[in-house]
């Protein structure tokens, strides 16, 4: 993530979060209000239907009573039909009131109505059968008033009252819920902008703090730059445009300083190189002068005019050996200056180790070193320039022997790594790598030896790297040095075997 994006995210995140929280609350509020309204509407419609049913029941009951009294006055079939119809309609109203009844009180009242109605019907039938006769209208009215239908009217009216009360409490609840909803939305309306304001204030405060910090850093940087490269006019104050210009100025100065420091670095390297070349020249001069002096003395004696001494076989062998030494030095220099292209051949690295060890056999015996060789039983196939790798191994062995002038153990271990590489370690029990060269072990001309060129390890590393491998060296905690070569193994070579010499 780029810095700009991160800053943008930091600034906008609180707003976005606050926004989302309010959005969530709004949705929740709308949803719950909708649900409440639906519930209220359902309850109100049920209450209205209950009220209607109770009212209907009462009306039918009154009609039934009226028509039944008329039928007793004039018991003709038509009146009986009307009474039957009233009864049926009452029963219908009762059934729908019964269906809608939910509360125990309602059910109890309806039970009373049902029992009372059946009793009233039975009594009416009994009166009808006795065929009563009322002398006056007053007698009839007295009978009608004393009629048990009164017991029925009470529960009906009570049912109406309960339903009316339920309607009223539902209306009150709706009102108070509406009030709560209004308060909630008012609160959100107030808190929303307030939250936005606070977040904005927080973000602005955070940004201003960052800018202040930036200004302090800028002033700090400018103070440093003043020391490094003259005056940088920087106040760290002003508008963002001014700040931008000041920043540009600082960046320009930094570029200047970095450019100069790089130039100094290059000069330093060049100086070091020149010094190293001087050292090399001195070392070559030293190396060349000694054999040349010996050769010059012998040849000088042979060409003396007064008593010339002919060169013996021993002299010639000495001259030959010295010339070979010279040649070797020159070859090392040439190798360093112009490394030849590797000519690769499929080789078993174990053979290469044997060959190199054979070349240093005499030295090993001379210094009394005990070699410990640990090679796998199967071939370790690599694609290498045999001469070049041979040179690397001989160099590592000779360095190890140089480090153990009074004897020790030279361990050579070869193994396969799981990552398709061959790993060869050369370990000695000598004094270890001197701190003088430890840091620049593989840089040319780094040597602690009187007659050393300091080219061996740098040439060796170049050869190994040219082969796609690595060469590393370090001191062991238990004493002595260890050099490790990793080379890519040839694909399709023997895959088994253990990693030796870890
Ligand atoms: P030279 O042998 O000519 O000095 P090298 O590049 O081969 O050049 O080695 C550089 C230096 O590294 C040596 O002079 C020596 O100080 C150090 N060195 C190399 N191998 C070993 C080792 N096995 N033990 C201790 N020091 C080592």
How far does CA 11 lie from the centroid of its chain?
21
Ligand 1 nearest-atom number relative to CA 399? 20
Residue nearest to atom 7 of ligand 1 (CA): 456
Residue 435 neighbours by CB under 8 Å, 6+ apart: none
Which residues, judged by CB distance below 6 Å to any ligand atom, belong to the binding site of ligand 1? 395, 399-400, 403, 428, 430, 432-434, 437, 441, 446-449, 452-458, 481
0.85 exceeded by the pTM?
no
Residue nearest to atom 8 of ligand 1 (CA): 454
**Confidence check: pLDDT of 497 > 50:** no
How far away, in angstroms, is 438 Cα from ligand 1 center?
A: 9
The residue with greater pLDDT, 259 or 495, is 259
Pocket test for ligand 1, best of 394, 399, 404, 408 (most atoms within 8 A of CB): 399
How far away, in angstroms, is 452 Cα from ligand 1 center?
A: 8
How far away, in angstroms, is 399 Cα from ligand 1 center?
A: 6
Residue 416: the pLDDT is 92
Residue 496: the pLDDT is 41
Residue 406: the pLDDT is 93
H or E segment to which residue 413 belongs: strand 408-417
111-120, 208-217, 360-369, 388-397, range with the lowest pLDDT: 208-217
Residue 208: the pLDDT is 78
How far away, in angstroms, is 64 Cα from ligand 1 center?
A: 129
**Confidence check: pLDDT of 487 > 70:** yes
476 phi, psi to nearest 5 deg? -95, 145
Residue nearest to atom 21 of ligand 1 (CA): 399
Residue 57: the pLDDT is 83
Residue 205 neighbours by CB under 8 Å, 6+ apart: none
Task: State the Cα–Cα distance between residues 414 and 393, nearest whole angstrom.
Answer: 12
**Confidence check: pLDDT of 2 > 80:** no
Grouping H, G, I as helix, E, B as strand and the rest as coil, residue 386 is helix
Ligand 1 nearest-atom number relative to CA 428? 23
Report the phi/psi class of residue 231: left, alpha or beta, with left for phi > 0 and alpha for psi in -120 to 50: beta
Is 92 exposed, middle or buried, given 0-12, 13-18 or 19+ CB atoms closer than 10 A? middle
Task: State the Cα–Cα distance between residues 343 and 388, nearest whole angstrom.
Answer: 9
The residue with greater pLDDT, 247 or 461, is 461
Give residue-wise pLDDT tens across range 343-390: 999 999 999 999 999 999 999 999 999 999 999 999 999 999 999 999
**Confidence check: pLDDT of 484 > 80:** yes
How far away, in angstroms, is 472 Cα from ligand 1 center?
A: 13
Residue 235: the pLDDT is 58
Residue 238 neighbours by CB under 8 Å, 6+ apart: 246
Ligand 1 nearest-atom number relative to CA 403? 24
Residue nearest to atom 18 of ligand 1 (CA): 433
Grouping H, G, I as helix, E, B as strand and the rest as coil, residue 201 is helix
Instruction: Tell me the average pLDDT across 190-219.
Output: 77
Residue 155 neighbours by CB under 8 Å, 6+ apart: 109, 110, 112, 113, 116
pLDDT range class, residue 238, cuts 50, 70, 90? low
The residue with greater pLDDT, 108 or 7, is 108
How far away, in angstroms, is 473 Cα from ligand 1 center?
A: 10
**Pairing of β 369-374 and β 408-417:** parallel
7-11, 18-22, 384-388, 493-497, range with the lowest pLDDT: 493-497
Q: In what order do the strands lie in the sheet with 481-488?
A: 369-374, 408-417, 421-428, 481-488, 470-475
Concatenated DSSP letters for 103-146? SHHHHHHHHHHHHHHHHHHHHHHHHHHH----SSHHHHHHHHHH
Rg (CA), the chain: 58
Q: What average pLDDT is seen over the chain? A: 82
Neighbours of 183 (CB within 10 A): 10
Residue nearest to atom 26 of ligand 1 (CA): 433
Residue 120: the pLDDT is 80
The residue with greater pLDDT, 164 or 333, is 164
Residue 344: the pLDDT is 93
The residue with greater pLDDT, 251 or 215, is 251
The beta-strand segments (E) located in 429-478 are 470-475
- Kindly state the tokens that stand for 392: 């690397």
How far away, in angstroms, is 433 Cα from ligand 1 center?
A: 7
**Confidence check: pLDDT of 495 > 90:** no
The residue with greater pLDDT, 494 or 293, is 293
pLDDT range class, residue 501, cuts 50, 70, 90? very low
pLDDT range class, residue 256, cuts 50, 70, 90? confident
Give residue-wise pLDDT tens across range 259-271: 888 888 888 877 8
**Confidence check: pLDDT of 493 > 70:** no
How far away, in angstroms, is 30 Cα from ligand 1 center?
A: 83
How far away, in angstroms, is 485 Cα from ligand 1 center?
A: 16
How far away, in angstroms, is 398 Cα from ligand 1 center?
A: 9
CB 36 within 8 A of CB 42: no
Residue 237: the pLDDT is 58
H or E segment to which residue 78 belongs: helix 77-100
How far away, in angstroms, is 383 Cα from ligand 1 center?
A: 27
Residue nearest to atom 16 of ligand 1 (CA): 448
Give residue-wise pLDDT tens across range 27-75: 887 888 788 778 878 888 888 888 888 888 888 888 888 888 788 777 7
**Confidence check: pLDDT of 494 > 60:** no
Give residue-wise pLDDT tens across range 290-324: 788 888 888 988 888 777 778 889 989 989 988 88
Q: What percent of the chain shows pLDDT beyond 90?
A: 25
Residue 478: the pLDDT is 94
Pocket test for ligand 1, best of 328, 401, 447 (most atoms within 8 A of CB): 447
Q: Indicate if the alpha-carbon torsion angle 247, 253, 257, 263 is positive or negative.
A: positive
Ligand 1 nearest-atom number relative to CA 446? 10
How far away, in angstroms, is 482 Cα from ligand 1 center?
A: 11
Give residue-wise pLDDT tens across range 452-480: 778 899 889 989 999 999 999 999 999 99
Give residue-wise pLDDT tens across range 141-173: 777 777 666 677 788 888 888 888 888 888 788
Pocket test for ligand 1, best of 434, 457, 478 (most atoms within 8 A of CB): 457
Residue 320: the pLDDT is 92
**Confidence check: pLDDT of 225 > 80:** no
Q: What angle do CA 316, 318, 320 make, to 5 degrees?
A: 70
């Amino acid at each position: 993530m780029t810095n700009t994006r991160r800053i943008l995210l930091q600034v906008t995140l609180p707003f976005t979060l606050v926004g989302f929280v309010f959005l969530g609350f709004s949705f929740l509020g709308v949803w719950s209000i909708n649900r409440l309204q639906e519930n209220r509407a359902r309850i109100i419609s049920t209450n209205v239907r209950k009220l209607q049913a109770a009212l209907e029941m009462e009306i039918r009951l009154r009609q039934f009573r009226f028509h039944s009294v008329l039928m007793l006055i004039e018991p003709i079939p038509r009146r009986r039909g009307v009474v039957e119809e009233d009864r049926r309609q009452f029963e219908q109203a009762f059934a729908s009131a019964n269906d809608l009844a939910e509360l125990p009180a309602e059910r109890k009242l309806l039970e009373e109505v049902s029992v009372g109605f059946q009793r009233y019907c039975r009594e009416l039938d009994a009166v009808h059968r006795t065929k009563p006769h009322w002398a006056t209208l007053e007698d009839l009215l007295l009978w009608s008033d004393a009629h048990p239908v009164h017991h029925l009217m009470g529960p009906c009216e009570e049912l109406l009252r309960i339903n009316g009360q339920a309607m009223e409490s539902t209306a009150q609840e709706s009102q108070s819920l509406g009030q709560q909803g209004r308060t909630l939305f008012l609160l959100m309306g107030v808190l929303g902008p307030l939250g936005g304001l606070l977040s904005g204030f927080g973000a602005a405060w955070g940004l201003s703090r960052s800018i202040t910090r930036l200004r302090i850093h800028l002033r700090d940087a400018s103070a440093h730059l003043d020391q490094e490269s003259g005056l940088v006019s920087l106040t760290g104050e002003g508008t963002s445009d001014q700040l931008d210009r000041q920043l540009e100025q600082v960046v320009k100065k930094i570029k200047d300083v970095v450019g100069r420091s790089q130039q100094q670095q290059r000069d330093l390297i060049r100086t070091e190189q020149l010094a190293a070349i001087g050292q090399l020249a001195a070392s070559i001069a030293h190396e060349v002068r000694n054999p040349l002096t010996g050769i010059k003395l012998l040849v000088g004696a042979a060409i003396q005019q007064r008593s010339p001494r002919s060169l013996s076989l021993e002299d010639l062998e000495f001259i030959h050996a010295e010339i070979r030494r010279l040649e070797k030095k020159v070859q090392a220099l040439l190798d360093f200056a112009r490394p030849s292209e590797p000519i690769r051949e499929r080789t078993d690295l174990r053979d290469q180790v044997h060959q190199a060890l054979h070349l240093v056999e005499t030295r090993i015996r001379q210094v009394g070193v005990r070699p410990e060789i640990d090679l796998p039983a199967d071939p370790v196939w690599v694609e290498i320039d045999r001469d070049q790798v041979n040179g690397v191994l001989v160099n590592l062995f000779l360095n190890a022997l140089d480090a153990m002038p009074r004897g020790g153990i030279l361990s050579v271990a070869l193994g396969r790594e799981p990552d398709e590489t061959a790993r060869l370690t050369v370990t000695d029990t000598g004094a270890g790598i001197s701190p003088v060269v430890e840091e620049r072990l593989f840089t040319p001309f780094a040597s602690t030896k009187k007659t050393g060129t300091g080219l061996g390890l740098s040439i060796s590393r170049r050869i190994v790297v040219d082969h796609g491998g690595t060469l590393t060296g370090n001191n062991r905690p238990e004493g002595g040095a260890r050099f490790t070569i990793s080379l890519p193994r040839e694909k399709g070579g023997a895959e088994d075997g253990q990693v030796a010499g870890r």
